[in-house]
Amino acid sequence: MNFLIRSKWTLFVLSFFCCNVSLTAGTGLSETEIREKVRDLDISVNVNVNSIVKKEIRRYVVKNKRSSEVILGRGAIYFPIIEDYLRKYNLPDDLKYLVAVESSVRTNVFSKVGAGGLWQFMPKTGKAFGLDIDSYIDERLDPYKSTEAAMKYLAKLHKRYDDWALALAAYNCGPSKVNRAIKKASSRDFWKISKYLPKETRAYIPRFIAFCYVGKYHQFYDINPKYPDYNDLILETVKVDNYTTFKKIANYTGISINKIKALNPAYKVGLIPIRKDGNYIILPRLDAIAYKEKVQEETKSYNYYVQNGESLKSIAQINKCKIEEILDWNAMKTDNIFVNQKLRLFPSEIEITTTQLSMKFE
């Protein structure tokens, strides 16, 4: 009888132990397994499997598993763009996962302190690396232009520190804080200087490591990317040389203004202004094809020659447009005009009438 009870108890303990071992193996969250998998990551930063790194890996794999699936799904759109620029600047491929930490791979997100876009540029830093930010456009939210700016900045930081962990830390909190931490610790090892860095930066590198881990091993943990609709997944960039609006793009393609805005958050007020080298919009491929075909059919711009006694207001009324549009079309900073001045105008969606006697087509 006692033997039977002991046998049943032994079987219960063994089954409980085996169950827990199985759960641990299934999630891959034992310290041994984390260490083994991290060892095979082969990423740009030197990895220290400390408590913070393990915590961040468990956070992405278990606690925020669904968020990781959404982030990986967005990555299907934006990682290929980033990979192209990484190759162009000869930078490590794993740096694409930095946007998972920076913005959760969102183009239209702003931080509390005003950093914006995929790469979370502050306005001053964005402008320093060639991004335009004005009343019409914020190129920090352009995935192409902001990515190229980020590559330039990251390459510059790596050249300065010759260490990717330090370069990424400097990207997060600024070189001056990293330099002070190096001086205080008398070391150039990120893990030794981290205690002298801001709290956010101390977690920044572990989070980057953790998402590299997710990127490589997500299938092992049954983390399934939440991909967008197929048509949204296959995007195309279209060059826009002339002034246009989201409304016109929507009319040409049949997609909603909200969707155009979601894909092109860099344009603040729903219009694409004239730029010297043109601008770019991102559309689902099928809609991009429809847009380009429609643009080819569109009537070309025309030249309007200012007559004696005319003002910009009267010209705008005659041509069924706004003063602001004329200023933008002609890159004018003021509304001062002179007789015989040539203005570039575009047909409005209202039919051009025969009262426009002074217009000359080329």
pTM for the model stands at 0.74
Range(s) of the domain holding residue 47: 30-217
Confidence category of residue 354, pLDDT binned at 50, 70, 90 = very low
User: CATH code at 207?
Assistant: 1.10.530.10
- What is the predicted pLDDT for the residue at 30? 85
Among this protein's residues, is 102 annotated catalytic? yes
Give the angle 310-316-319 at the CA atoms, nearest 5°: 105
Q: 75-130, pLDDT tens digit by residue? A: 999 999 999 999 999 999 999 999 999 999 999 999 999 999 999 999 999 999 99
Task: Tell me, yes or no, whether 323 and 209 share the same domain.
Answer: no
Q: Which residue has the higher pLDDT, 276 or 220?
A: 220
Question: Alpha-carbon distance 341 to 338, whole Å?
Answer: 6
Q: 302-320, pLDDT tens digit by residue? A: 888 999 999 999 999 988 8
On whether residue 14 sits in a domain, the answer given is: no
Domain boundary among 187, 217, 247: 217
* Residue 96, helix vs strand vs coil: helix
Q: 126-180, pLDDT tens digit by residue? A: 999 999 999 999 999 999 999 999 999 999 999 999 999 999 999 999 999 999 9
Task: Tell me, yes or no, whether 41 and 183 share the same domain.
Answer: yes
On whether residue 19 sits in a domain, the answer given is: no
- What is the predicted pLDDT for the residue at 278? 80
On whether residue 163 sits in a domain, the answer given is: yes
Structure-token pair, residue 98: 């930095």
Confidence category of residue 15, pLDDT binned at 50, 70, 90 = very low
How many domains does the structure of the chain reveal? 3
Question: Alpha-carbon distance 144 to 130, whole Å?
Answer: 12
Task: Tell me, yes or no, whether 124 and 197 share the same domain.
Answer: yes
* Cβ count near 78 (within 10 Å): 20
On whether residue 127 sits in a domain, the answer given is: yes
- Would the pLDDT of 355 be above 50? no
Q: Which amino acid is at 290?
A: A
User: Are the C-beta atoms of 83 and 93 separated by less than 8 Å?
Assistant: yes
Domain boundary among 273, 297, 321: 297
Task: Tell me, yes or no, whether 62 and 120 share the same domain.
Answer: yes
Q: 């915590």: which residue's tokens?
A: 55
Q: What is the mean pLDDT of the chain?
A: 86
Task: Tell me, yes or no, whether 62 and 137 share the same domain.
Answer: yes
- What is the predicted pLDDT for the residue at 276? 76
Task: Tell me, yes or no, whether 159 and 121 share the same domain.
Answer: yes
Question: Alpha-carbon distance 201 to 107, whole Å?
Answer: 22
Q: Pick left, alpha or beta for residue 114 (phi over 0 → left; psi -120 to 50 → alpha; otherwise beta).
A: left
Q: Which residue has the higher pLDDT, 128 or 242?
A: 128
User: CATH code at 325?
Assistant: 3.10.350.10
Q: 50-62, pLDDT tens digit by residue? A: 999 999 999 999 9
Q: Which amino acid is at 165?
A: A
Task: Tell me, yes or no, whether 165 and 269 share the same domain.
Answer: no
On whether residue 17 sits in a domain, the answer given is: no
- Would the pLDDT of 23 be above 60? no
C-alpha closest to that of 212 among 350, 328, 355, 53: 53
Question: Alpha-carbon distance 110 to 87, whole Å?
Answer: 27
On whether residue 227 sits in a domain, the answer given is: no
- Would the pLDDT of 13 be above 70? no
Task: Tell me, yes or no, whether 118 and 194 share the same domain.
Answer: yes
User: Are the C-beta atoms of 360 and 301 separated by less than 8 Å?
Assistant: no
- What is the predicted pLDDT for the residue at 348? 64
Confidence category of residue 299, pLDDT binned at 50, 70, 90 = low
Task: Tell me, yes or no, whether 210 and 246 share the same domain.
Answer: no
On whether residue 10 sits in a domain, the answer given is: no
- Cα dist from 338 to 158, 282, 310, 312, 313, whole Å: 53, 38, 9, 10, 13
Which one from 36, 83, 102, 349 is the annotated catalytic residue? 102
Task: Tell me, yes or no, whether 96 and 211 share the same domain.
Answer: yes
Task: Tell me, yes or no, whether 89 and 171 share the same domain.
Answer: yes
Q: 322-352, pLDDT tens digit by residue? A: 899 899 888 888 899 999 999 988 776 433 3
Q: 196-216, pLDDT tens digit by residue? A: 999 999 999 999 999 999 999
The string of DSSP codes covering 55-111 is HHHHIIIIITHHHHHHHHHHHHHHHHHHHHHHHHTT--GGGGGHHHHHHSS-SS-B-
Phi/psi of residue 107, nearest 5 degrees:
-85, -25
- Would the pLDDT of 194 be above 80? yes
On whether residue 1 sits in a domain, the answer given is: no
C-alpha closest to that of 147 among 200, 205, 87: 87
- What is the predicted pLDDT for the residue at 300? 67
* Residue 272, helix vs strand vs coil: strand
Task: Tell me, yes or no, whether 206 and 276 share the same domain.
Answer: no
